[in-house]
Structure 1
Amino acid sequence: ELSQSEQGVVIAKVDIDEFRQLAIDHQVTHFPTLVLYKNQQEVARQVGFLEKPALLSFLKAHK
């Protein structure tokens, strides 16, 4: 839903049980974790659940 309403945003969900090394490589130690990248560089990180309004605000703040 968010990936359709937020133009230019790609959202990916990763199963860390299956891709454990990916979590290690990106220093994800708590769940859920949202990591935003721009031009292959991390620009923001949010650890913990966000309700939809807070998530939209977080995305817009780092666009």
Structure 2
Amino acid sequence: MEAFVDGVDPAFRPAFEMKSISSVRDVAYLAREAQPWITLATDKRYQIVPALLAALPM
């Protein structure tokens, strides 16, 4: 990963753009792009600690 980040074109970071964010319970799903290098990148992030989630009314 470091080799990719260190060797990236200087125009890459400004082109990196969040396209959508959605969430289901404690997980967020992200879609990003950095045209023309990356046409679609997906990721998921845990938003809420499970113990806190259990305390919330469902």
Q: TM range, normalised to the smaller chain?
A: under 0.3
- Name the one with the larger strand percent: 2
- Name the one with the larger helix percent: 1
**TM-score normalised to structure 2 length:** 0.26
User: Which structure: larger Rg?
Assistant: 2
Q: Which has the bigger relative contact order, CA under 8 A and spacing at least 6?
A: 2
**TM-score normalised to structure 1 length:** 0.25
